[in-house]
Chains A and B, each alone.
Chain A
Amino acid sequence: MNESDLPSFLLDGEEIPFTPGQTVIQAALTAGHYIPHLCYHPEFVPHGSCKVCTVKANGRPAAACTLPAQAGLAVESDTDELNDLRRTLVQMLFAEGNHFCPSCEKSGNCMLQALGYDLGVMTAGFRHFFPDRPVDASHPDILLDFNRCIFCKLCVRASEEVDGKGVFSLTGRGIMRHLIVSAESGRLADTDIALTDKALEVCPVGVILRKHVGFAVPIGRRRYDERPISAQALDDAPRMMEPKHG
């Protein structure tokens, strides 16, 4: 199909073509337009929990990752109001967990940190919760540091949908929400997780870490050290005219 045959919507005044079934963020990224996001992952069905990708569609706020693209939709994204909202949401996440970037081995590869830099978040602003979330170091090769969880559910879904295991689940309610593993002991060592699992690759922050390789790439030469997340996200998105097969 030719790009000009496709239906389109407007994103900040620019026309974005889409294939039916795509959501606003999928179409935007494919067309080379960045909308800040955190819990969205191109390989998984959009979840819509972090709300960082909130846009206004015909004047009404909606998460761009779950909003179905529709012909004629007028979407605002890069506005002061929406970027303020995104900064507030990122600040809320920083205040909720225990995010100590200088001592975190995910620093430079962390989407939350990268978003903070890209949006110009200078402090958490709000009062920190400092929750008590013990780490799980029971597994010989994998460390779980729950202090950094942002509840994107990507590991849960990767383990269920790709690995066919269901190692992780989210539980609790409200601010007591937390990640658990599938074992009576509650310890990762007693699950059937493997180093080859997809669930290990998807964490946008520093919860699921491989042991022994933490600083193989030095800080300063990592993914988001090289270029901001807004540029990186576009590289990661599937391109419009490059069909995967055939």
Chain B
Amino acid sequence: MSRNDPYPSVDAVVERYHADAAYLVQMLREIQETRGWIAPPVVTELARTLGLSRARVEGVAAFYSFLHLRPVGAYRVLFSDNVTDRMQGSEALLAYLSEKLWVEKGKLSEDGLLSIDTTSCTGLCDQGPGLLVNGRAIPRASRERLDVIAALILDRQPLDQWPAELFAVEDNIRRADLLLGNRLAPGEAIRAAILRGRGGQTEAAANERSWREANPAAALGPAATLEEIKRANLRGRGGAGFGTGVKWEACRNAPGEMHCVVCNADEGEPGTFKDRVLLNRHADLVCEGMTVCAYVIGGGGATRGFIYLRGEYRHLLEPLEAVLARRRAAGLLGRDICGEPGFDFDIEIHVGAGAYVCGEESALIESLEGKRGIPRSRPPYPVTHGYLGQPTVVNNVETFCAAALVAVHGGEWYRAVGTAKSAGTKLLSVSGDCERPGIYEYPFGVTVRQVLEDCGAGVGKRATQAVQVSGPSGTLIDASEFDRRIAFEDLPSAGAFMVFDETRDMFDVARNFVHFFAHESCGFCTPCRVGTAMMRNMVDKIHGGRGTQRDIDEMCQLSKAMHMAAHCGLGHTACNPMQDVMKRFRPAIQRRLRRLEFAPAFDLDAALAVGRRMTGRDDAGAHLETEA
């Protein structure tokens, strides 16, 4: 690096992370935060100081959407491109800003000042359209707000001098139940777990059926809390619904030099934003749950904790760091937590860099290790071979919150809420066509109809035609299914609940999701890498009015291959949106088909577009006749 380089040196960043290559993604992110992009000499320097091949470092950097290996503008405006953002007018707003600032979508402006593009759902669906400007979240995009932003950009105002009001993100909690309504004090869940291990009663549990009375032979120590987690029948809230107690127990029993607790806050499923609210409003509860987990799985040995925070939630980093610092000062993190000798545990935050696939637990661990976020082959599973090959529990933000509640109140208390197979409550992120989008916490078993009623969907003339439950990788249901229940045994959900009224074109909705998966596929396995891109081309062909029955047949063939052979859940579920639309909203596709047999994807007239632009012609003679 040259000597008059104004930025902190690469060496300084590397040193701060003790030259540990596991922090490569964090180093790249930090270097970029000051320099704007990661120049080729920086990659070389980083590889040299870390003792990695240059190609490896470049390979990692180019995997993540938010890391740039080419010069970018001083201002990078990204429009969230979830279907709910589009329904709130994001496309027209993007065009408006592009025109106003004289820049083409996806390209750097001539003066190098800015670029405007789209990005996958930023988790602001209840207050969209969402924006990211240089990584900072801005909700409620509107012409008026874009006018303000455009003026600030043209004025070259640094982001930290923009009005704070622009960045104000609301929590929008509309219905609270036992989780969002909790009044636990910091440390309460940890002390409860320790006390329970000594055979004592927690204050909260004293009012309920005596725990020890019911189980005279119950375990002591951390195993006592594990028993409660199992008794609570707590299941993972990230979507898969794996038993939390079973997971913790397997990890606890696995031998290793250390045990790891990872909080999956890579909330990338479009339409999901509950973890954003939990981390903003209930960060202590998240940490409590993680610490209780460390207590349970640690077995007196070394334990480490990580929060993997999605890059889109970068604005939560400083507040979260403050919470961790406060907890350290209060003896709730660090050595001898709550005065328990040998109970050492701390939490560090890793910030992601724009990769949905990192929400898959083994891909998340790869990313934590400073690699490309590619899901591992399993077995072995993370509970035995996770972070750096050590036994690791990865749980969703909401799962840790629920675990903290169970540690205090006990398993019986928790499982009394919900259904027999789905204990407790579920946070739903409600967005789309409704009066009151936001966070709704319900006991499991609530009907879709109830949620629709509460959020004010279908009010007025426009009836609700469909709900996408659990995001693009979940299930799309139509009005005939609104009596189905949100529960693992019926409609499992990771939290998304997107409402579509009768004016929405369900093919366009699915097309948005197909594009999302093509953009987010990690590219590791053939069926997902090629399949998602082929699906994207096919829906675009149909959208462009050139679709045929043959395209539908090919999509079915692809879906089958992806469903059977893809490496991870992303590939398995990437075909769900089109499959659901084919099953439930067939006319939305059928009416777009041009003819039944075959139409070439290649459009002769469209191919002349470049020539027309170059010659400035658009008269009849510059067009080829195409069939009507």
Contacts and interface: CB of A to CB of B under 8 A. Distances in A.
B565 A61 contact: yes
Contacts of A150: 526
B316 to A, nearest CB: 25
A183 interface: yes
Interface in B501-530: 518-527, 529-530
A180 B527 contact: no
Interface string B55-68: 11011111101000
A237 interface: no
B565 A51 contact: yes
B394 to A, nearest CB: 20
B52 interface: yes
A174 B374 CA distance: 11
Contacts of B59: 169-171, 180
Given A49-B526, A92-B530, A184 B565 contact: no
Given A127-B537, A175-B521, A89 B527 contact: yes
Contact of A182 (B54, B372, B564): B54
Contact of A129 (B44, B524, B533): B533
A47 B531 CA distance: 19
Nearest to A23: B377
A51 B63 contact: no
B41 interface: yes
Interface string B198-211: 00000000000000
B523 A184 contact: no
B613 to A, nearest CB: 20
A169 B534 contact: no
B538 to A, nearest CB: 8
A48 B56 contact: no
A173 B565 contact: no
Given A50-B525, A151-B529, A174-B519, A166 B561 contact: no
A89 B537 contact: no
Contacts of A89: 526-527, 561, 565
B355 interface: yes
Interface string B419-434: 0000000000000000
B53 A160 contact: yes
Contacts of A168: 55
A150 B58 CA distance: 20
B53 A88 contact: no
Nearest to A88: B561
Given A88-B561, A95-B534, A173 B523 contact: yes
Contacts of A75: none
Contacts of B63: 171-173
Q: Which size class do A's interface residues fall under?
A: 35 or more
A52 B526 CA distance: 9
Which of A54, A89, A168, A173 has most B Cβ within 10 Å?
A: A173
A242 to B, nearest CB: 28
Contact of B529 (A175, A181, A183): A175
Contact of B554 (A126, A173, A174): A126
Nearest to B69: A171
Interface in B382-401: none
Given A127-B537, A175-B521, A50 B526 contact: yes
Given A50-B525, A88-B557, A126-B534, A180 B55 contact: yes
B567 interface: yes
Interface in A198-246: none
Contact of B523 (A54, A129, A166, A174): A174
Nearest to A150: B526
Interface string A118-142: 0000000111010000000000000
A68 interface: yes
A170 B65 CA distance: 16
B379 interface: yes
Contact of A181 (B43, B55, B522, B557): B55
Contacts of A169: 53, 55-56, 58-59
B530 A93 contact: yes
A151 B526 CA distance: 9
Contacts of B561: 85, 88-89, 92
B601 interface: yes
A187 interface: no
A119 B518 CA distance: 28
A184 B522 CA distance: 24
B55 A167 contact: yes
Interface in B293-310: none
Contacts of B529: 96, 151, 174-175, 177
Interface of A: 46, 48-52, 54, 61, 63, 66, 68, 85, 88-89, 92-93, 95-96, 125-127, 129, 150-151, 160, 165-177, 180-184
Given A61-B565, A89-B561, 14 more contacts: A46-B377, A51-B567, A85-B560, A88-B557, A92-B531, A126-B554, A166-B56, A167-B53, A169-B53, A174-B521, A174-B522, A182-B53, A182-B56, A184-B41
28 contacts: A48-B525, A49-B524, A49-B567, A50-B526, A63-B565, A63-B567, A88-B557, A88-B560, A126-B554, A127-B537, A169-B55, A171-B58, A171-B61, A171-B62, A171-B372, A172-B62, A172-B63, A173-B62, A173-B65, A173-B519, A173-B520, A173-B521, A175-B521, A175-B530, A180-B59, A181-B55, A182-B56, A183-B54
| 5 shortest interchain CB distances as A-B pairs | A166-B53, A169-B55, A177-B523, A182-B55, A175-B533
